[in-house]
Amino acid sequence: MSTVTATQFFDQELPRLFSEKKARTKRNADVIFEVAGPSGGRWRVRLAQPPEVSSLSAHDETGDLLIRMDASEFSSFLDGTLDVVQAVDEGRLALAGDLSLVEELAEMWSTPKSWLSLRVEESGK
Amino acid sequence: MKSSKKHPGDTQLVTHTLKPSDKLSGKIESALSQKRTAEGLSEAKGLVAAALDEFAADPRLKPLAAAFPEAKGGASALLSAAQVKTAFKKLAEGVKRLQTAAQGAERVSHQEGAEVSAFDRKMMKGVIRLCGVSFSELNTPAATIITAGDKIVAVGMNRAYNPLPEYDRHGEMEALRALKQRTYTGIAQILVLHRQRGGALSPRSQEILKKLEAQGLMKDQSLGLNPAKLEKQGFFSAAKIEKYERQLDAAVKEGSCFQRDEDGNLHGRPQQVFETAMSQGTFGAKDVADWEVFDRLHSRDPTMKLALYTSLEPCGMCLQNCTSHGQIGRVVYGARDEFGGGISTLEKYPEAYFSMGRVPYELVGGVEGEKAQVLYDKFFNEVYPYVRVDEDPPPEVLKALAKEFAQA
């Protein structure tokens, strides 16, 4: 199980990876993460160019997607072992808003295999 | 004749023999055993990054660090991009399962009880009608209509046997080709309309349009382009015109976007098929998608979902093309094809395939793969992040990589 806490993830790791690994997104939207429990908190991941993360102190800021989970679920999420369907069924995970943004979060460092054209001429001018 | 002998430049899948000892072994072996795909390599990079974090001083890691330059996470890094990507990806997969469960009625399968709308039935009757034309030309009767919402965007008829035996001219593929031609026809026609309204165009665009007009560009009015409406929708804006000029230039250089007859005239087949479907009463002028739909499709608008209606179960090639297209979200077919359908033959494909006297084929991976893998890794890591958001990658990176591909 991952030992990285939500605070470490949102305050330290995600901002570092955004800046170091050329994260890119076509969307322009806010995803709010709420993690309850120890080392929990509330963060906004802004999908923009470049993407950014900020800590939210109040509950009055809304986004295009809200993802709420417990700290224990957060560890499973980072490990990739979170059973989303079961967690939602049991109320340990809640998602509200534009669910397509979840996929966009996964695609920010994407390397799809089907993209086969290269705009050398266009880009070289 | 087959040979298992490894040729220079080949890669071998999951046959690495590097086996360092003690506690590093597990991590390194795990990294090396990842599949040689972009995803597998991404996983491997994550594992190597973790090993580098934990055993930074171990000299045995140097070759691996060199092989995975992106994995240099640094001592303070707790997670790699690959790990975070995997976490979000798993979350996205879970969300997709939730959505699939909620939208189960939208899936069409062999299971009885799939929901079919009146519009679905109208389109299916239309494609079955069109089959008659296909059959009269001594082809397997099969036809396809592609729609966006309740609007028609393209039509295709099978002609894989006549007038020429061409394996890729199934109805679905013809419709996809027609969609491409209609899109670039629209782009060119808008530029002509822009010029007719006194708008400026580059000398290159004027040269292209002069040729296309001589080839009959404006004869196809099935897109129903209306200058006043286009103006209102912003299609004559400077940004749009510049984009269309750039795309048309690239399209004509490529040469595959327009079909022409022996005299170099445009629109021979796609326009004829489209008009045949209209004359049969399958749809009227008011049912044809307007330019806004084509523009959104061409801009890869992720909310624009197409449906493909086809009389016969798509073969593997057509089904895969529907999937690869990326914006076809629904395929509806009439008759099953137990011997050639991409769904029906999943389990008995080899038997059916060979009983039809087709040549055997096999999939071989890793041939000349050593160089290719390095090049594609570079492409996906250094170029694609820009491309997927329509940004131009650094020209020097492009030129260097293009040169490497050319010299591989």
Kindly determine whether residue B402 and residue A118, on different chains, have CB atoms separated by under 8 Å: yes
Interface probe, candidates A109, A110, A114, A117, chain B, greatest B C-beta count within 10 A: A109
Which residue range(s) make up the domain with A36?
6-108
The pTM score is 0.53
The token pair that represents B349 in the structure block? 């494909």
- Spell out the residues 6+ positions from residue A107 whose beta carbon is closer than 8 angstroms to its own: A25, B388
* Residues of chain A above pLDDT 70, percent: 82
**How high is the pLDDT of residue B26?**
61
Domains of chain B from N-terminus onward: 24-102 (no CATH), 108-355 (3.40.140.10), 369-407 (no CATH)
Flag whether pLDDT at A63 surpasses 50: yes
Q: Distance between CA B380 and CA B54 in Å, rounded?
A: 27
Positive or negative: CA dihedral A84, A88, A89, A92:
positive
CB interface of B with A, residues 272-291, below 8 Å: none
Nearest alpha-carbon partner for B241 in B198, B180, B288: B198
Nearest CA in chain B to A8: B78
- B386 — contact with chain A (CB < 8 Å)? yes
Q: Distance between CA B81 and CA A22 in Å, rounded?
A: 10
Nearest to B395 among A21, A105, A123 (CB): A123
Interface probe, candidates B35, B45, B47, B84, chain A, greatest A C-beta count within 10 A: B84
CB interface of B with A, residues 77-96, below 8 Å: 77-96
> Looking at the domain assignment, is residue A114 inside a domain?
no
Rounded to 10 degrees, what is the CA torsion of A93, A97, A100, A106? -50
- pLDDT tens, residue by residue, B142-155: 899 999 999 999 99
Q: How big, in percent rounded to 5, are the helix, strand and coil portions of chain A? A: 35, 25, 40
- pLDDT tens, residue by residue, B382-393: 887 887 777 788
> Looking at the domain assignment, is residue A113 inside a domain?
no
Contacts A–B by Cβ distance under 8 A: 130
- B403 — contact with chain A (CB < 8 Å)? no
CB interface of B with A, residues 137-156, below 8 Å: none
> Looking at the domain assignment, is residue A83 inside a domain?
yes
Kindly determine whether residue A83 and residue B101, on different chains, have CB atoms separated by under 8 Å: no
B330 neighbors B307 (Cβ within 8 angstroms): yes
Flag whether pLDDT at A74 surpasses 50: yes
CB interface of B with A, residues 308-367, below 8 Å: 324, 326
Kindly determine whether residue B384 and residue A112, on different chains, have CB atoms separated by under 8 Å: yes
Nearest to A80 among B86, B246, B381 (CB): B86
Nearest to B98 among A14, A88, A109 (CB): A88
- pLDDT tens, residue by residue, B235-261: 999 999 999 999 999 999 988 788 887
- B372 — contact with chain A (CB < 8 Å)? no
Nearest to A102 among B77, B82, B95 (CB): B95
Q: Distance between CA B190 and CA B97 in Å, rounded?
A: 42
- Kindly state the average pLDDT of the residues B168-181: 93
CB interface of B with A, residues 220-249, below 8 Å: 246
Q: State the total domains in chain A.
A: 1
- Kindly state the average pLDDT of the residues A18-33: 83
**How high is the pLDDT of residue B369?**
63
**How high is the pLDDT of residue B173?**
95
- Kindly state the average pLDDT of the residues A19-28: 78
A30 neighbors B104 (Cβ within 8 angstroms): no
CATH, residue A50: 3.30.1050.10
Q: Which of A22-31, A109-118, B104-113, B336-345 has the lowest mean pLDDT?
A: B104-113
Between B25 and B373, the higher pLDDT residue? B373
Task: Provide the b/e sequence for A24-41 (b: ≥16 CB within 10 Å).
Answer: bbebebbbbbbbbeeebb
